[in-house]
Structure 1
Amino acid sequence: MTKLIKPLLVAGLLLAGSASAYADDAPAAAPQHKGWHMDPAKREEMRAKHLQMLHDKLKIQPQQEAAWQTFTASMKPQKMAKPPMNENETAPEKMERMMQRHQDAMQKHLDALKTFYAQLTPEQQKTMDHLHRPHGKPHGKSEMPAPANG
């Protein structure tokens, strides 16, 4: 048994080495989803389509339009101004400052959402709640069935 382990280990290492060498020669595959690295015009087009879909599904009434405009403006990506560099700041202090800036931006989004949400009818609120459930949750039932033991 121990006589087989060494040849199998060597064969496995050789196979892994040749596979990685082959992979280096292969052309890199194009990324399937570029996320925030996509063309800004394309990203803005997708954002506009999403907001139009949301507007249509919520059936925004004319008296709700001002709150809708404020809400969508708060969702528009803003380029954060780079704070002045402080050479004496430690890494944790820099991260804490960055986190605070992000938290401030999120608070503005939350405030706009709360104001907008308060303008919605109960039916619209239900639609909004349904559209903004956590990703990965199954549609329909709120719980996954327990796996069968067998």
Structure 2
Amino acid sequence: MSLLQRSAIVTAMLASLSVSSFAQTPAAPAAAPTTQSAPAPAKKAHGPEAREAHMAKRMQTLKASLKLNASQEAGWTSYMAAVKPQRPAPGDRPERPDFAKMTTPERIDAMAAMHAKHQAAMDQRNQATKAFYASLTPEQQKTFDAETLKMHERRGRGPDGKGPHGQRHQGPNPKQTVPPMDSK
């Protein structure tokens, strides 16, 4: 049997299988939900509002763990104001059509300006954190260290230190010059 004949036979078999799948009877309509059925699981909220709510909850937990005294409340308030996420104002970053109209050097300059703005905001948050940290007692500093470390460890990782796909997130191996080949 030639290759052409085998290909024709395989194609005919696949075509007959696909036709038979279309010829199946449609499924019966789903029954109306009963009052006994379990409620649908709540979907995780995403977006800036959800992130802000999550951060507010984490910060309330941190504040409760720190057991701040009255003299530290002002420092906490200024710290919270400094680390609160700032939403970009309309016009802060170029829209896609405007960005597409720019030349490459203009895009590079726009990205550099955005980077400088983000760096300045990060420096401000870092200084506020250091100032607040300095106002804490040594016991509170240990609590702050432990709680904020937990916040950073949770980002994108499971309880076993692995990411969502099961791999460990470790830095690149400085001795490795060529990426490993998959043995699969």
Same fold (TM over 0.5): yes
- Specify the alignment match of 1:56 in structure 2: 64
The residue identity in structure 1 corresponding to 2:117 is: R
1:132 corresponds to: 148
* Equivalent position of 1:122 in the other structure: 138
Q: How many residues align?
A: 114
Cα deviation per residue 1:7-34 (whole Å; 9 max; x = unaligned)? Answer: 9xx9xxx8xxx9xxxxxxxxxxxxx655
In the alignment, what sits opposite 1:99? 115
SS of 1:132's partner is: helix
Partner AA of 1:120 in structure 2: L
CA radius of gyration, larger in: 2
Instruction: Please list every run of at least 4 consecutive aligned residues from structure 1 whose deviation after the TM superposition is greater than 4 angstroms.
Output: 83-89, 136-139
Q: Relative contact order, CA 8 A, sep 6+: which one is greater? A: 1
Note the C-alpha offset of 1:131. Answer: 1.3
Q: Specify the code of the residue in structure 1 equivalent to 2:61.
A: M
Q: CA RMSD in A?
A: 3.6
CA 1:78–1:84 in 2, change beyond 3 Å: closer, same or farther?
closer
Per-residue Cα deviation, 1:79-135 (whole angstroms, up to 9, x for no partner): 234348695652222211111111111111111101100000111111111112241
Residue in structure 2 matched with residue 24 of structure 1 by the alignment? none
TM-score calculated relative to the size of structure 1? 0.59
Letter in 2 for 1:100: A
Instruction: Return the alpha-carbon distance in structure 2 between the equivalents of residues 119 and 137 of structure 1.
Output: 33
**2:125, 2:159 → 1: CA distance?**
26
Mapped partners of 1:97, 1:104: distance in 2? 11
Higher helix share: 1
2: distance between equivalents of 1:74 and 1:97?
21
Listed as ranges, the gaps of 5+ residues in structure 1 are 19-31, 140-150
Structure 2's unaligned 5+ residue stretches are 19-42, 161-184
TM-score by length of 2: 0.49
